[in-house]
Amino acid sequence: MSTPRRVFDLRLTAFNICKSYNGEPVLRDCSFSFDKSGTYVLMGPNGSGKSTFLRICVLLEEPDEGEITYFSGADVLKKDIELRRRITLLLPRVGVFNATVFKNVAYGLRIRGIKGPEIKERVDEALEFVGLVRKRNQNARLLSSGEIQRLGIARAMVIEPEVFFLDEPTASVDQKNTEIIEDIILKMKERGKSIVVITTHDIAQANRLADWLLLLKDGKVIPSRRCAEAY
């Protein structure tokens, strides 16, 4: 049985986020909110600031101006450790340890002090969810790039984040694994355990995955709308 966890009112709000590099604005007064009502896709061309936005949300970068709050008003920029453990980001290219698939996925649980049967239960559940349970004892470095991306999703899911960011999750995988990963994201939405935020520049993929769509252009966010109404 999983360790009891504090229940949050799932919500993310960004207010007037600004970010520049070498004097060139990337994000300009970006304001938007996500809550638990669906899966969100942030669209925009390459270089539009999508990845910068995600890095700011998970504290890999700080904005020049603005505020991000999670849940019941906690300010993520204050670097609350307990809060940060409930947020995760999947990068376009996932790194793996020279160890089995099982040990790669279990790592996040072990460093959180979880032990024994609970690790096996949660890891096997995550691997089943992404279709890798039969490869649990294989060295992760022998997986294909698409399978490694699915391992990354399992490694994030196993810690049960309240907010799960996926930055271009199918950018470096083949068509077969793209379809599998999209199915995984749709199943995540059905579970309803996390706010799911995805970046992509693929309009067709956005329409397949999104309940709500955000368009990022010229450093500004166009107000969210239902994906079916965006085009």
Domain residues of the chain, as ranges? 11-97+161-225
pLDDT, residue 162, reads 84
pLDDT at 203 over 70: yes
CATH architecture group of domain 11-97+161-225: 3-Layer(aba) Sandwich (3.40)
CA neighbor of 77 nearest in space, from 133, 17, 34: 17
Closest CA to 127 of 109, 146, 104: 104
Is 227 a residue whose pLDDT tops 60? no
Mean pLDDT of 84-106: 91
Q: What percent of the chain has pLDDT over 90?
A: 49
Q: What is the CA radius of gyration of the chain?
A: 17
Q: Of residues 229 and 122, which shows the higher confidence score? A: 122
What average pLDDT is seen over the chain?
85
Amino acid 3: pLDDT: 45
Rounded Cα gap, residues 231 and 227, in angstroms:
8
pTM of the model: 0.86
Task: Give the residue from 108, 92, 189 showing the smallest Cα distance to 156.
Answer: 108
| Partners of 38 in the β-ladder | none
Phi, psi dihedrals of residue 47, rounded to the nearest 5°: 85, 5
pLDDT at 44 over 70: yes
